Amino acid sequence: MSSNAYIKLVPSSSQQAISTEELKDLFHYYKEITSKTGEQVDWNYGNTAFPYELKEKETGKGTWFYLQSSQDRYNSILIGVDQEIIADEDGTEREQTYIQITLPPTATAGDKGKANEFSKFIGKKLQGELHLFNGRVMYFYPRK
């Protein structure tokens, strides 16, 4: 059974919308900074820290892509962007962008750990509201 985590871009987030291209840039940046940790300790940490390659199918272009691993403890993570209509406290409706991170039924415990790490990174970077796989919520945006 697949499970999902969501990063919602709320009004006080650093940006209100995001494209899959921007998410891909964040993925490459995350891979870069985790591999720099390995350089500092003189160890090939980059392949272990986040052992995924970005893949995209023609049908998902612009809406979703997936991260595929060739290591035995990991499989894949799907990442997509969508919008939803929500009602504000005053009753007005607005469109809210969210990022969905999905673990397919074939995902391993390692995939879940790496997906949690990556979703926290994105949540902090975008100052969003992260709804974790276990239902808990982390707030990375300035709250009143």
Walking along the chain (144 residues) 10 residues at a time, the average pLDDT comes out as 94 94 95 82 74 92 93 94 90 93 95 96 97 96 82
Q: What pLDDT was estimated at residue 21?
A: 95
Alpha-helical regions (H) of 41-108: 46-49
Confidence (pTM): 0.91
User: Which position has the token pair 């840039």?
Assistant: 25
Residues 75 and 108: beta-carbon distance below 8 Å: yes
Q: What pLDDT was estimated at residue 41?
A: 74
CA 97 to chain CA mean position, Å: 13
Tokens of 122: 């994105």
Q: What pLDDT was estimated at residue 46?
A: 66
Rama region for 127: left / alpha / beta (φ>0; ψ in -120 to 50; rest):
left
Q: How far apart are CA 75 and CA 112, in angstroms?
A: 10
* One-letter amino acid of 20: T
